């Protein structure tokens, strides 16, 4: 992902979910970036660039042990 796209996604996550969210580049990956909340990893945003239509897909895994907290 381009740095300006990551910057826009960071602003979007902050606006939608609050200032504790941050979007960061992934090492050695150019098709995705990582999402953090208070320095805790919460998910990945993948870039879908099919046929020139760009979209972003957010994927977040939730462990069953976290549901009991």
Report pLDDT for 40.
94
Report pLDDT for 8.
98
pTM: 0.88
Domain ranges (residues) in the chain: 3-67
For residue 60, the 8-state DSSP code is -
46's enclosing H/E stretch is: strand 40-50
Average pLDDT for the chain: 94
What length does the chain have?
A: 69
The whole-number average pLDDT for the span 3-13 is 97
CA distances from 7 to 29, 30, 51 (A): 16, 14, 23
Q: How does pLDDT run across 24-41, given as a tens digit for each residue?
A: 999 999 999 999 999 999
Helices (H) and strands (E) counted in the chain, each on its own, are 2, 4
């Amino acid at each position: 992902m381009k740095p300006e796209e990551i910057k826009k996604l960071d602003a979007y996550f902050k606006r939608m979910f609050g200032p504790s969210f941050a979007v960061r580049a992934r090492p050695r990956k150019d098709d995705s970036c990582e999402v953090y909340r208070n320095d805790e990893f919460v998910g990945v945003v993948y870039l879908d660039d099919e046929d020139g239509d760009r979209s972003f897909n957010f994927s977040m895994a939730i462990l069953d042990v976290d549901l009991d907290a």
